[in-house]
Amino acid sequence: MGGKFISFEGPEGGGKSTHAAALAETLRAEGKTVLVTREPGGTRLAELIRGLVREELDDPPVTRAEVLLFLAARAQVVANVIKPALARGEWVLCDRFSDSTFAYQGYGRGIDVQLLKELNDFATEGLVPDLTILLDVPPEVSRERIAERQRATSTSADRIEAAGEAFHKRLREGFLALAKAEPERFAVIDSSGDPAEVDRMIREAVRGS
Ligand SMILES: Nc1ncnc2c1ncn2[C@@H]1O[C@H](COP(=O)(O)OP(=O)(O)OP(=O)(O)O)[C@@H](O)[C@H]1O
Ligand SMILES: [Mg+2]
């Protein structure tokens, strides 16, 4: 049986990177070949684009440029990494994917979500995850975890992390609206609790998918 394509989505600090790594470990222990990739990233070009969108610029990307940069990175990783891995029968776990575009640039920045879906389809050649794990946390938890990580790694907020309260609220609501519109693809998991319990719920969602 072939592998599945699973994306992890949700607000910053929701635990996407942590829990994607944990699921990869679980699947590998079952003998599966698993590829974990983060967005934007996963190929040299996409990592360069990641650097560009996080750069402190005098002229930061306007929203339309931001959309196209993220989509360019996604097109590259889909064509050169994700599709070939799925064709080999491997599992692919993606730390953010299309729903982040719909949530951030759509619900967050006000670009028409339907238009974003069409542009995104062009970039992904219509590739949609088999399962999307939405790790949901309230803004307070998100803020606290980001602050904690910044203290731990002595870094400061990047441009997107630094966006205001109202933006983060729209973002979370956007993710929840996306999940509500496609309940068969999404598993919404409360990620504010015990990490071991979150991992357990994720494994259960993967088994049921
Ligand atoms: N269920 C959990 N309970 C408590 N802490 C958690 C949980 N999941 C993750 N964390 C902690 O929260 C912080 C953020 O987690 P992580 O970096 O995985 O989030 P993320 O969703 O990948 O964030 P970003 O979008 O910024 O990449 C880390 O310090 C991590 O150890
Ligand atoms: Mg992360």
What's the pLDDT tens digit per position in 84-94? 999 999 999 99
What's the pLDDT tens digit per position in 41-75? 999 999 999 999 888 899 999 999 999 999 999 99
For ligand 2, an ion, list residues with CB under 5 A: 16-17
Report helix, strand and coil shares of the chain as percent, to nearest 5. Answer: 55, 10, 30
CA of 133 to the centre of ligand 2 (A): 14
Give CATH for domain 5-208: 3.40.50.300
- Nearest residue CA, atom 9 of ligand 1? 15
Q: Which tokens in the block code for residue 31?
A: 């003998």
pTM value is 0.92
Angle, helices 139-153 vs 165-181, to 10°: value is 120
The Cα–Cα gap between 25 and 29 comes to 6
Mean pLDDT split into 10-residue runs, the chain, 209 residues: 93 94 98 95 93 90 95 97 97 98 95 98 98 94 84 74 80 97 98 96 96
Residue ranges per structural domain of the chain: 5-208
- Nearest residue CA, atom 2 of ligand 1? 195
41 lines ligand 1 (CB under 6 A): no
- Substitution candidate for ligand 1 out of 18, 141, 151, 203 with most atoms within 8 A of CB: 18
Q: Please report where in the chains the tokens 């299309």 appear, as a residue.
A: 98
